[in-house]
Amino acid sequence: MQNTKFPNANWDQYSSKIISALSLKKTAIGEYHGACPVCQGVDRFWIKEDAQNCVMVSCRKCSDFAGIKDALRNQNLWTKIQSMRVFSKRALDLIRIIHK
């Protein structure tokens, strides 16, 4: 299930950007390592593709999943949070009245 605060990043769209920007090195088939964008732990950060064609990220030093995704998002290397507007039933009724 996708966390709404941290939406998934598509591997095809984001992996090459992350690999390039963070100078990650390929260490295994489909896995890349380098310095963590949060704690700067050398060779502790990794990315790889999951079964749903999404980017998986982790750091073996800080394990700061939220911090990593925020750092990547701040560098335009991760998908942005989708904005959702929530209207009350009363507000929706008023909108309908106005647009009749």
Collapsed DSSP state (helix, strand, coil) of residue 4: coil
Across the chain, which has 100 residues, the per-10-residue mean pLDDT values are 61 94 93 94 90 91 91 90 56 68
DSSP string of 9-34?
Answer: -BHHHHHHHHHHHTT-EEEETTEEEE
Contact 1, 64 (CB under 8 A): no
pLDDT on residue 100: 61
pLDDT tens per residue across span 23-52: 999 998 889 999 999 998 888 999 999 988
Say if pTM beats, i.e. exceeds, 0.75. Answer: no
pLDDT on residue 95: 67
Kindly report the length of the chain.
100
